[in-house]
A = this chain, B = another copy of it.
Amino acid sequence: MSVQLEVDGSAEAQDSSPVAGASAGKGDLRSPKAKRVYDALLAAILDHRLPPGARLPEDELGSLYGVSRTVVRAALQALAHERVVAIEANRGAQVAEPTAEEARHVFEARSVIEPRLAAMAAALARPKDIAHLKRHIAEENAALAAGDTGRAIALSGSFHLAIASISAQPILAGFVRELISRSSLIIALYWRRPDTICERHAHAALGDAIASGEGQRAADLMMSHLVDLLSGLDLRPRRQKEGRLQDLLSGGGER
């Protein structure tokens, strides 16, 4: 319970986290209450305030947000569908802990989809979109300069999502959104070192390629950028069990 969960929704309201702002799969959750819990939980997970493996008891969340377990369950189910939360029957929900194999699959999927979307974005980008991307890059640089790596990671994901949104492929953009969320968990588990310089340049180059309409170059840059991201992970040494054990021994992930 030491994790702060933004009950009053201030984080979403001020829209400081564009990832959370673009989060809503619109047709999924019916009630505004469930969407609120969903947004708050997703934001907490993407910001790494709730680490992988953190347990998510229904009644605790319900009392936190002032809603019943019914509403919490709907939100958890939506998060589980996006593989951000893992639910085991009769054993409740916890923040997902992607295995190394899943991590590879996530980045392989991104490598299939995102280069194509980058190329489409380069063909379709309007001045407004380009300005949006450049603003994003500036924010990222500011966060990196300030040493706020958590925010930088969130902004980095948001940058990828922004490119996907330009591509006029809402379905694929939705897939990318899910993959970016899972990537956030993967980074929390497997990130090796904050070698952020290469990434900063990668995003800038990507933005330039899109701004100048060079589709093929944008696709190539996106592909190599994703390869770089994957190579920044330390997937080999750990076995999947160790991640959990470490969480448990360090005092339990959820409190």
Q: A: which residues have CB within 8 A of B?
A: 25, 27-32, 70, 73-74, 77-78, 80-81, 83, 86-90, 102, 105-106, 108-109, 112-113, 116, 169-172, 175, 179
- Residues of B within 8 Å of A116, CB to CB, are 112
- With A77-B78, A81-B81 already in contact, the answer to whether A31 and B89 are too (CB < 8 A) is yes
Given known A-B contacts A112-B116, A113-B113, A105 and B171 have beta carbons under 8 A apart: yes
- Chain B residues lying within 8 Å of A87, measured Cβ to Cβ, are 27-28, 30
Given A27-B81, A30-B89, A105-B169, 6 further pairs, Cβ under 8 A: A25-B81, A27-B86, A106-B171, A108-B169, A108-B171, A171-B179
Q: Evaluate whether A109 and B77 lie within 8 angstroms (CB atoms) in the complex, with A27-B86, A175-B175 already known.
A: no
Q: Min CB distance, A219 to chain B, in Å?
A: 12
Chain A interface mostly helix, strand, loop or mixed? helix
In the complex, the answer to whether A77 meets B74 with C-beta atoms within 8 Å is yes
Q: When the two chains form the complex, which single residue of B25, B86, B169 contacts A109, counting CB atoms closer than 8 Å?
A: B169
9 contacts between A and B (CB under 8 A): A27-B83, A28-B81, A30-B87, A32-B89, A77-B78, A105-B171, A106-B171, A109-B169, A112-B112
A70 CB → nearest B CB, Å: 8
Copy number in the complex reads: 2
Instruction: Pick from A25, A102, A108 the residue with the most CB of B within 10 Å.
Output: A108
Which B residues are CB-close (under 8 A) to A31? 89
Q: What residues on B are CB-neighbors of A112 within 8 Å?
A: 112-113, 116, 169, 172
Given A77-B74, A77-B77, check contact A109 B172 (CB 8 Å): yes
Closest to A101 in B: B170
**A179→B171 CA distance, assembly (Å):** 9
B residues in contact with A29, CB < 8 Å: 77
CB distance from A119 to the nearest CB of B (A): 10
Q: Which of A70, A102, A175 has the most CB of B within 10 A?
A: A175
Contacting residues, chain B, for A90 (C-beta < 8 A): 30
Counting from the closest, the 6 A-B pairs by CB-CB distance are A109-B171, A81-B81, A30-B89, A105-B171, A28-B81, A109-B172
A110 smallest CB distance to B (angstroms): 9
